[in-house]
Structure 1
Amino acid sequence: MSYFERTGPNTYRATHHVGGAWATNEQHIAPALGLMTHAVELDRDDRRDDRLAVGRLSYDILGTIPIDEVEVRVAVLRPGRTIELVEAVLAHDDRAAVRLRAWLMQTRPTAALEGTSLARIAPPEEMEEWDPTSVWPGGFIESAQVRRRQMEPGRASYWVRTPLPLVAGEDVSAVAGAAGLLDIANGMTVRAHPKDIAFPNVDLTAHFFAEPRGEWLGFDTTVSFGATGLGLTSSVIHDVHGPIGTASQVLTVRPS
């Protein structure tokens, strides 16, 4: 079992485990974002041997994707010895569905400077198990294991992990694995029930100052709705050692 199976050099077939939350016959975008990061890292390692680190992932979601075969193409937009800007495009039936721009950056020994004022969240073992299928349908949500501490509607800290590999039979980095979970943030602490209000995100941007370690990915999330149909889901991203970055998703808020 996995989210995707490779069918060619640049093509992958989605399994039913990517089934979406807004529509179960469409892909939940989260695994696809991880797949694109995996493709970027494979392309990087084919071209160079210094393993530039992923500093930023910025995705624009251009449309829905059926549970079917997709293609991912990668191109270097700004080559460099220590920093690169890389673009990946995920397409279905020759239609671009997601566009990613990733900054890849050289690592250096800065352990003596390590630190952040971002607040830590409680570890997974101190949070209660929570079943996200009580709010959302779909294969992806069903595959996720969640521990959550809810403060109020639209405000929670939680941990997420999945037992399923991103791509069958392939080694996937911790960053790509984490990227495949990031988009779950928009549904883990809703301000309004999705049966009453639709609030899909049209993008996701994540910044990392450390690579994730361990099987759990943590979130400290706040969801905000404005007065004119826009919204924002903002998260501080954690591993079990503490904060490692941030993620933001802009929302289109649509009352039924």
Structure 2
Amino acid sequence: MSDSYYELIDSADPVGERFAATDLVRSTWSATIQHGAPVSALLVRGLERCEARPDTRLSRVMIDLLGGVPAEGDLWVRSRIERAGRQIELVGAEMLARGPDGEPRAVAKASGWRLKTIDTPTLLQASAPPLRPLREARSRDMKKDWDRNYVHSLDWRWLTKPLSEGPGESWIKPEVDLVNGETMTPLERLFAVADDANGIGTKLDPRKWTFMNTDLVVHIHRLPVGEWIGIRADTNYGPDGIATTIGSLFDETGAVAGIQQSVLVRPMPGR
């Protein structure tokens, strides 16, 4: 396989565009399932390409992970207009994989509000303080800790120490294609790392706890520019094994989006 998350196998498959995943989608929790970030980015690709209109863009994307997305076997993505409109549209996409009966079934879904754009440069404003510049970030060489998986697809540089008090902060750059031979759009690039907010904002030792998010909601007020995406994230923990990650996403000029994730917290088996 090439240095990409996915290979497009058949764009005319009646179920939907058919893909094969590479090793670079594999999760850090288990090599048999996909990390949520490549899944999210491929669903965003489907949303953006669905009856595409150059006078609109996505303003809110919600990803629901319906279970572990298998890292091997056929994958399909299909999209549709859920609610058409001149200024406001709701677009949906879903990823399918073979179930126990061998038939395709949904394993992840996305919905996106797509709004008509106009020129408002004089209104440009973002309340989230910018991240410290990339030159102050440091690599922690996380690739050495895992066999080839999603982490190996990134240049990941930390501004804060993992598991420290307060929000975690990182700059991240995907170093591979989303789909082999395609150039990522700004939103595909954003979603190729947005799901990492949970790991950046966690306060839990991954040797003792699992903390897997079931969803990802991103509100985008501005399209990101450039290769690097910054994340500032923090996680709030309830008393009942449920947590929420809340944060902001950045490019090198400032904030571009807000992000939230629901998180299922469990003791690591054997602990």
TM-score range, shorter chain: over 0.9
| Residue identity opposite 1:127 in structure 2 | A
RMSD (Å) for aligned C-alpha atoms? 1.6
Select the residue among 109, 128, 146 that pairs with 2:138. 128
| Residue identity opposite 1:38 in structure 2 | R
Q: Is the 8 A contact 1:44 1:51 kept in 2?
A: no
Aligned residues: 253
Instruction: Please report the TM-score for the alignment, with normalisation by the length of structure 2.
Output: 0.89
Q: Tell me what 2:59 maps to.
A: 55
Q: Tell me what 2:92 maps to.
A: 87
SS at match of 1:188: helix
Q: Tell me what 1:216 maps to.
A: 228
Instruction: Please report the TM-score for the alignment, with normalisation by the length of structure 1.
Output: 0.94
Distance 1:18 1:50 in 2: 30
Distance 1:234 1:32 in 2: 20
Q: Tell me what 1:139 maps to.
A: 149
Q: Is the 8 A contact 1:20 1:138 kept in 2?
A: no
Identity of aligned residues (%): 28
Deviates more, 1:212-221 or 1:118-127: 118-127
Q: Is the 8 A contact 2:69 2:108 kept in 1?
A: no
Could you list the structure 1 runs, at least 4 aligned residues long, displaced by more than 2 angstroms after superposition. Answer: 130-138
Deviates more, 1:161-170 or 1:147-156: 147-156
Deviation at 1:155, TM superposition (A): 2.6
SS at match of 2:236: strand
Distance 2:217 2:48 in 1: 17
Task: Establish whether residue 117 from structure 1 lines up as the match of residue 127 from structure 2.
Answer: yes
SS at match of 2:51: helix
Change in 2 beyond 3 A, CA 1:61/1:2: same
Distance 1:41 1:64 in 2: 24
Task: Establish whether residue 12 from structure 1 lines up as the match of residue 39 from structure 2.
Answer: no
Distance 1:113 1:179 in 2: 25
Q: Tell me what 2:14 maps to.
A: none
Q: Tell me what 1:247 maps to.
A: 259
Deviation at 1:138, TM superposition (A): 5.2
Select the residue among 156, 165, 174 that pairs with 1:162. 174
Change in 2 beyond 3 A, CA 1:136/1:122: farther
SS at match of 1:80: coil
Deviation at 1:189, TM superposition (A): 4.2
SS at match of 1:34: helix
Q: Deviations over 1:111-135 (max 9, x none)?
A: 1111122111101111122233466
Q: Tell me what 1:198 maps to.
A: 210
Q: Is the 8 A contact 2:37 2:193 kept in 1?
A: yes
| Residue identity opposite 1:4 in structure 2 | Y
Q: Deviations over 1:26-72 (max 9, x none)?
A: 11121011011111112232xxx434111011011101112222101
Q: Tell me what 2:160 maps to.
A: 150
Distance 2:43 2:60 in 1: 13
Change in 2 beyond 3 A, CA 1:137/1:119: farther
Distance 1:31 1:66 in 2: 12
Task: Establish whether residue 186 from structure 1 lines up as the match of residue 186 from structure 2.
Answer: no
Q: Tell me what 1:231 maps to.
A: 243
SS at match of 1:37: helix
Distance 2:106 2:145 in 1: 30
SS at match of 1:200: strand
Q: Deviations over 1:172-200 (max 9, x none)?
A: 31111211211112113431111211110
Deviation at 1:237, TM superposition (A): 0.5
Gaps of 5+ in 2: 12-16, 99-103
| Residue identity opposite 1:249 in structure 2 | Q
Gaps of 5+ in 1: none
Select the residue among 29, 32, 35 that pairs with 1:28. 35
| Residue identity opposite 1:50 in structure 2 | P
Q: Deviations over 1:129-171 (max 9, x none)?
A: 2233466665101221111122625631110011101000123
Distance 2:212 2:56 in 1: 32
